[in-house]
Structure 1
């Protein structure tokens, strides 16, 4: 038997080094994390793309079972939101034009026809599939607008950015999901968009900002200006490229190289670190031969990654200096020391680390993108009957009647987080985002009141 539904979010963050499954309860301006299940991943997923569908499906099902066992209530899964950040996914410009000759009013039908016309050009690419489209602007008789509805123009032009990827990216992931109990219940979302939702404020998105999500084998880039997604790209390298480079040293294993990267990795060259230390506090930093070798390997790779990021930003936005709120970095590999300083040196933009746990940003963003309630609570049936020996009581008729009335008023209680009394939700007016915009996630994650354990 199902109980009253609350607003629950259930998400899978599928990465190249690990998978996270998270269940949370969404409230006014906060999110209550109920359970997080994590699993490391190996060759089953490479550069964000599922390689071994059967192995991944077994792992996902095992995680779902563990999640159900980790909470103290029963539920059925209705929906789940799945993040994907696969190499090769990127945004492409599309355009369509209509001559209306002052005879038609621009309405939803006209806008749908414009979109279909633009997509007909994309659909010629048989090996690719589109999953996200963002309106950039409309031009109505030479005037730019984001809301042309109601106009009766001579001509209207529409400009879009469509996020596309090879069909195999989606087929492989869907094959893994379809082999689980989630068939027909999952919604695919672009991971870097989810990260942007989690880490950006409304001001960031209006003034212009770049989100860089440093993952294990991919780096996601999302450029947003005027509350519109302007560019998306997933690059084919990340933190594990640095780790693999370090295995060149004296036969280190991947685990040893990862530990070395965490302990000694730095995005700035040791000569600059020495000069900085002397200038800032008069200290003399010393680097021995092995430390120099480690530093040079790390710096060579991270500079290559940053150079590619900067090239994508300049390609997406011809005047990067107008992205007033600069760059926000997130993702597990963004923890590399002095990465903020290196990005600032290369781009001359202001750079900051996200205030949200880097490894969890995509998870939190996926939870906010979850528009549908994801689970239905189930009542637990009593496991055994409770018998009362009436001979033990010698109650008066009135006392017995009172006791029966009291017992009749008691309902079974399901010990779930939803059973706690919630504050009455205030009705708040909500500003509708312009077409092509993404929802502000800045305040949503301000008060996370369940602490999470860092990734191992």
Structure 2
């Protein structure tokens, strides 16, 4: 029995990569990821929503087989924790009041009844609740976090309900069922990311967690150890790559260009930063970037600023007083690695901003690669998961094979039949039609409004 380890299986169905991981928590509560496998996503999942149920099911099935081979001996995955970042995620304020006339003692049953009434009143018919968070109770009008044991005249419960479209949830459920997974526990993706990147002090002082993904950008706000607000913006790193395709590039070329040369800061801001570190003599010979570099920068910045502006609007809309968010903004996710993103957020929000440090959550034997901010949700899912969903031999510290590196995803389905342009050398910039430049950048600002009209906001 001492040779058997209980593992936790977690799935991150992202819009860029589908990631299935196996890990456990040691005696100190630290996470050790035994193995992690991924598949690049093209059009099978868009903005966190499963579009091709059969194909996603086949991908998950393949990942499971690869994952279990790493353990050398036979075991099976009976339960998996799934992170949800659907673009249709909605944060609903809900409250319900109960008159007790000082006759009844408040029990757990009464609190459950109060919550059930709140759901029945507030949850739309085409939505399914994926999480809920108690905000506070009012006992005879006075705030209270735990009213059990009191005998008030009235009791009011206030909640945040996190819901998504029922059809989207069914798509995910069916794809996992096709892969042979029957026990799937859904967890709000941004809640998992926050669990990985926030300390208890951060949650108490107040913090904004932003997970920059490929197809969506998720955000949540904690204050006084309670999750106060959640939103999912239907924009991510892949949108920037799509914008760069307007420079006559393939999606893979645009993705490479974004990673190599992209920055979220406008070149004028970069020039200001450069000037601060130069002498007057050096500034005299310091020139603006080349024309083609300006083109690239303006496209990347236009989309980056749009995403950040929407994040800021959501922070204001949340109702949490900005001045009381003591720990500021913490960013994670694969797209958070873009150069200049921290600075742009700091400029737009006037709040302290830092990148997530995942090393403090991982055991000393966990591979360094899992400190990448793209694994924040995976680590958080393991932290929130319960052991027992997968049992196998003790982890020896070495996997049978190294994790498979995800390749760059293809763009849209119609691009498969198109001949990819020859990759241009880094020194040669492709010049777009100058007449279309202004039109392109103006269009970028309008896309979000059109997309929101099609969504579920």
**TM-score over 0.5 (shorter chain):** yes
Rg bigger for which structure? 1
SS of structure 2 residue aligned to 1:268? coil
**Partner Cα distance (1:83, 1:275) in 2:** 40
2:219 aligned partner: 221
Match of 2:353 in 1: 351
CA contact (8 A) 2:24 2:387 kept: no
Task: State the alpha-carbon separation in 2 of the partners of residues 298 and 261 from structure 1.
Answer: 8
How many pairs were matched up?
385
* Residue aligning to 1:306: 308
Taking the aligned partners of 1:192 and 1:204, their CA distance within structure 2 comes to 15
1:60 corresponds in structure 2 to 60
Correspondence list, 1:303-382, <5 A: 303-356=305-358, 357-377=372-392
Is the CA contact (8 Å cut-off) linking 2:85 and 2:218 kept in structure 1?
A: yes
**Structure 2 CA distance for aligned equivalents of residues 155 and 360 of structure 1:** 45
Aligned to 1:170: 169
* Matches for 1:82-161 after TM superposition, within 5 Å: 82-123=82-123, 125-161=124-160
| Residue of structure 1 equivalent to 2:440 | none
Contact 2:85 2:189 in 1 (8 A): yes
Unaligned runs of 5+ in 2: 359-371, 408-457
Q: 1:3 to 1:28 in 2, by over 3 A?
A: closer
Checking the alignment, whether the CA contact within 8 Å between 2:212 and 2:336 is kept in structure 1 is: yes
Partner of 1:22: 21
- Are the counterparts in 2 of residues 83 and 366 from structure 1 also a CA contact under 8 Å? yes
Deviates more, 1:67-76 or 1:150-159: 67-76
- The DSSP-based 3-state class of the residue aligned with 1:417 is coil
Shift of 1:170: 0.3
**How far is the alpha carbon of 1:285 from its aligned partner?**
5.5
Runs of 4+ in 1 over 3 A off after TM superposition: 2-7, 451-456
Whole-angstrom distance in 1 between the partners of 2:342 and 2:269: 15
CA contact 1:78–1:375 (8 Å) conserved in 2: yes
After TM superposition, the score normalised by the length of structure 2 is: 0.81
Contact 1:88 1:233 in 2 (8 A): no
How big is each residue's C-alpha offset from its partner over 1:109-132, in whole Å with a ceiling of 9 and x where there is no partner? 110111011011134x21111110
Instruction: Identify the residue that residue 395 of structure 1 maps to in structure 2.
Output: none
SS at match of 1:139: strand
Deviation at 1:5, TM superposition (A): 4.8
1:374 is displaced (CA, Å) by 1.8
Q: Distance in 1 between matches of 2:260 and 2:147?
A: 55
Superposition CA RMSD, Å? 1.9
Q: CA deviation at 1:293?
A: 0.4
CA positional deviation for 1:419: 11
